[in-house]
């Protein structure tokens, strides 16, 4: 058993050695176009507790602002929640974030259907990569810097799955 473990340690490939990861190099001549265009999809369904946190976290991703598109796919059935999510998107858009609020007239396919429908928009077709965040996921600001280089430098990869933690719901205060 010791020989097997020693051989694995000596000859086994680690993920960081098996796949190339290299940060993007700034190029003064071509500017931000050296960075791939990334679509961030956030499917939502009546996400009253976390919509602000998840939209805020996606809009807070550290990536060149002209190379990222945020797409909020709202399948909410509650008109009040729909209005709140749309207003949150408008708030971020007024700050210069490239964010799109999308709704469907049906919920065919549920979350997967919303994601598929979101890819049909012209701006989505221009994107080279897609990041999908569940509504209760709050990525760290450097999430794209840590994951996109794996896809960019390794054409045989089609997916990067990352570890994540559940979002913290805002505390509710009760008054009597």
Residues 65-118 have pLDDT tens digits of 999 999 999 999 999 999 999 999 999 999 999 999 999 988 898 999 999 999
- 99-103/129-132 β-pairing: unpaired
Integer Cα distance of 148 and 154 in angstroms:
10
pLDDT score for 87: 97
Name the nearest CA neighbour of 97 among 43, 42, 25: 42
pLDDT score for 162: 75
pLDDT digits (tens, 9 = 90+) for 43-56: 999 989 989 999 99
Which ranges constitute the DSSP H helices of the chain? 2-11, 15-18, 51-59, 79-94, 110-118, 122-125, 143-153
pLDDT score for 107: 87
Percent of the chain with pLDDT over 70: 82
- Helix (H) or strand (E) run with residue 40 in it: strand 38-44
pLDDT score for 98: 97
The answer to whether 58 and 40 have CB atoms below 8 angstroms apart is yes
Integer Cα distance of 89 and 116 in angstroms:
20
pLDDT score for 150: 85
The answer to whether 85 and 44 have CB atoms below 8 angstroms apart is yes
The SS3 assignment for 153 reads helix
Quick one: tokens of 109? Answer: 């396919």
Q: Tell me the domains of the chain and their CATH numbers.
A: 36-153 (3.90.550.10)
pTM for the whole thing? Answer: 0.80
Q: What is the mean pLDDT of residues 19-28?
A: 74
């Amino acid at each position: 058993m010791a020989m097997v473990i020693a051989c694995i340690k000596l000859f086994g490939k680690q993920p960081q050695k098996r796949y190339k990861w290299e940060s993007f190099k700034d190029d003064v001549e071509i500017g931000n176009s050296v960075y791939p265009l990334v679509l961030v999809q956030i499917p939502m369904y009546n996400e009253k507790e976390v919509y602000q946190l998840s939209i805020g976290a996606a809009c807070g991703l550290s990536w060149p602002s002209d190379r990222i598109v945020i797409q909020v796919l709202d399948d909410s059935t509650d008109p009040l929640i729909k209005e709140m999510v749309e207003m949150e998107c408008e708030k971020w858009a007024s700050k210069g974030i490239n964010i799109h609020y999308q709704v469907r007239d049906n919920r065919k396919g549920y979350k997967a259907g919303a994601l598929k429908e979101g890819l049909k928009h012209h701006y989505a077709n221009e994107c080279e990569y897609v990041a999908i965040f569940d509504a209760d996921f709050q990525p760290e600001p450097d999430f794209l810097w840590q994951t996109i280089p794996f896809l960019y430098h390794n054409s045989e990869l089609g997916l990067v799955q990352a570890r994540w933690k559940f979002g913290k719901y805002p505390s509710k205060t009760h008054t009597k």
